[in-house]
Amino acid sequence: MREWSNRVGVSSEEIERKIREGTAKRKEIRDFAALFNIRYMESAGLDYVYDGEARRIEMYEYPVKYIEGIELLDWVRSFDNKYYRKGVCVDKPRLKKPYHVEEFLFVKERARRGIKVPVTGPYTLADWSFNEYYYHPDFFNIRESRYRAKEEFVFDIAREIIRPNIIALVNAGARWIQIDEPAATTHPEEVPLFVEAFNEVVKGIDAKFSVHICYSDYSLLYPHILDMKVDHYAFEYANSGNYDRTLSLFKEYGDKKEIGLGVVDVHRDELESPELVKERLLHAYHFLEDYIIYANPDCGLRTRTLEVAYEKLKSVVKGAQMAREEI
């Protein structure tokens, strides 16, 4: 801990002492972790940072703990060796309290760079939950009754849970919010529902919104995503296997939104060089011609070591700088 803390400019002596003595409070440990993550990202050179979601158990389980009407059950595997507790909806979802404001204010007071706040979206929260409350099967039309139950569940989460959270964040000063929706293309026939729920969340709110969708067939989003009230896409490309196929969707459909280009793979330790990042960015720039492109990892780097994640982030920063110099 000491070596990395010194490296990113955070003193760890006091928290280390308290941990050894057994006197460290949970909040103190999380505050330290959040500050460490902010400085870690800043020292890597990122333009926009957050706290590495240091206070969140997991992107699904953490928000569900603040929702009345969804009960957490047992553990399921998400990917690699990562697990979360899956929930079951037993009543109409109700928000206990906004659950991202405190962490945002901590970041806002300490960050020296821009801030982008990640929030798990309504479609993913619903899709990753069992739906007992809304589902009343019509045995003459099971598929339709299942869809209507899902639709009602998704929209209640959008209106009653996610939208109030985002309004609270904006009132606290958040200007860029990323809604994470990894489940967006799990059921291709429900992509319109995903888009409508997103729009329900953000309507009338004065902020920049991005949507992050990883490990998906992005062609399934079109043409429905053209109706999404979003400013920025954060998509996975480095691990996609077919770079041009994904990029061509933007040209094919005339979709002119900002693009967050995933230029490093978050599931491999192999380091992408700054030169490779530069090549990927320039290729996208020349392919798309007049689009606004941001450089970012495919997804979160939580499964990598501190060293590997740091070097990948530095490659993103250096590669973007090199690409700008050649434009």
User: What is the DSSP track for 24-87?
Assistant: --HHHHHHHHHHHHHHHHHHHT-SEE--TTTT-S-TTHHHHTTEEEEEEEEEEEEETTEEEEEE
Question: For tokens 């009653």, what's the residue?
Answer: 160
- Whether 152 and 246 share a structural domain: yes
| Residue 106 token pair | 């901590």
Same domain, 145 and 212: yes
**117 Rama sector, left if φ>0, alpha if ψ -120 to 50, beta otherwise:** beta
Buried b (16+ CB within 10 A) or exposed e, 263-294: bbbbeeeeebebeebbbbbbebbeebeebebb
pLDDT tens series, the chain, 327 aa: 789 999 999 999 999 999 999 999 999 999 999 999 999 999 999 999 999 999 998 899 999 999 999 999 999 887 777 788 999 999 999 999 999 999 999 999 999 999 999 999 999 999 999 999 998 877 778 888 999 999 999 999 999 999 999 999 999 999 999 999 999 999 999 999 999 999 999 999 999 999 999 888 999 999 999 999 999 999 998 987 677 888 999 999 999 999 999 999 999 999 999 999 999 999 999 999 889 999 999 999 988 999 999 999 999 999 999 999 998
Q: How many structural domains compose the chain?
A: 2
13 with 122, same domain: the answer is no
> In the prediction, which pLDDT does 4 show?
94
The pTM for the full model equals 0.94
Q: Which domain holds residue 125?
A: 45-326
- Cβ neighbors of 182 (< 8 A, separation 6 or more) are 124, 212, 213, 214, 215, 216
Same domain, 5 and 144: no
The answer on 60 and 40 residing in a single domain is no
75 and 7 in one domain? no
Asked if 30 and 50 sit in the same domain, the reply is no
pLDDT at 239: 85
Let me know whether 31 and 94 are in one domain: no
**Co-location of 28 and 99 in the same domain:** no
Is residue 92 located within the same domain as residue 9?
Answer: no
Q: Are residues 65 and 131 in the same domain?
A: yes
How high is the pLDDT of residue 210? Answer: 98
Same domain (yes/no): 25, 59:
no
Provide the CATH number for the domain around residue 196: 3.20.20.210
Query: Is-contact 237 261, C-beta < 8 A?
Result: yes
